[in-house]
């Protein structure tokens, strides 16, 4: 079972407490925890693809780190970002590679 998420409360708890609670309790507490429906690895692959496709690079580094923790290999992240380059855009893939190479640099 995944550890309890508190990043929302730490980052936004005082400013946007309801949003922070939804992030920690619903998104990560309920949705991400249903590993019998979709593994954490697969959820990370989907989430990373969504973030890259939308161009939301502010959250990308954190989710790449979560993805690596959830078992995404260097080979898998390279294949995913390459695939996204053709569907989401070359510049988005380039930006994602710049972040991913730092996280998987020792692999």
Per CATH, which fold does 40-104 belong to?
Answer: AhpD-like (1.20.1290)
pLDDT of 2 over the 60 cut: no
The answer to whether the predicted template modeling score (pTM) of the entire model surpasses 0.85 is: yes
Cβ contact 48:79 at 8 Å: no
Chain segment 37-77, per-residue pLDDT in tens: 999 999 999 999 999 999 999 999 999 999 999 999 999 99
Each domain of the chain, given as residue ranges in start order, spans 1-33, 40-104
Q: What are phi and psi of 105, to 5 degrees?
A: -65, -25
């Amino acid at each position: 079972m995944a550890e309890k998420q508190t990043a929302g409360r730490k980052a936004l708890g005082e400013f946007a407490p309801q949003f922070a609670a939804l992030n920690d309790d619903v998104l990560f507490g309920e949705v991400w925890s249903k590993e019998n429906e979709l593994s954490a690895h697969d959820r990370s692959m989907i989430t990373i693809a969504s973030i890259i496709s939308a161009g939301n690079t502010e959250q990308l580094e954190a989710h790449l780190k979560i993805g690596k923790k959830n078992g995404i290999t260097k080979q898998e992240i390279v294949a995913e970002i390459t695939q996204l380059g053709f569907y989401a855009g070359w510049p988005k893939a380039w930006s994602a590679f710049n972040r991913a190479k730092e996280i998987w640099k020792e692999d």
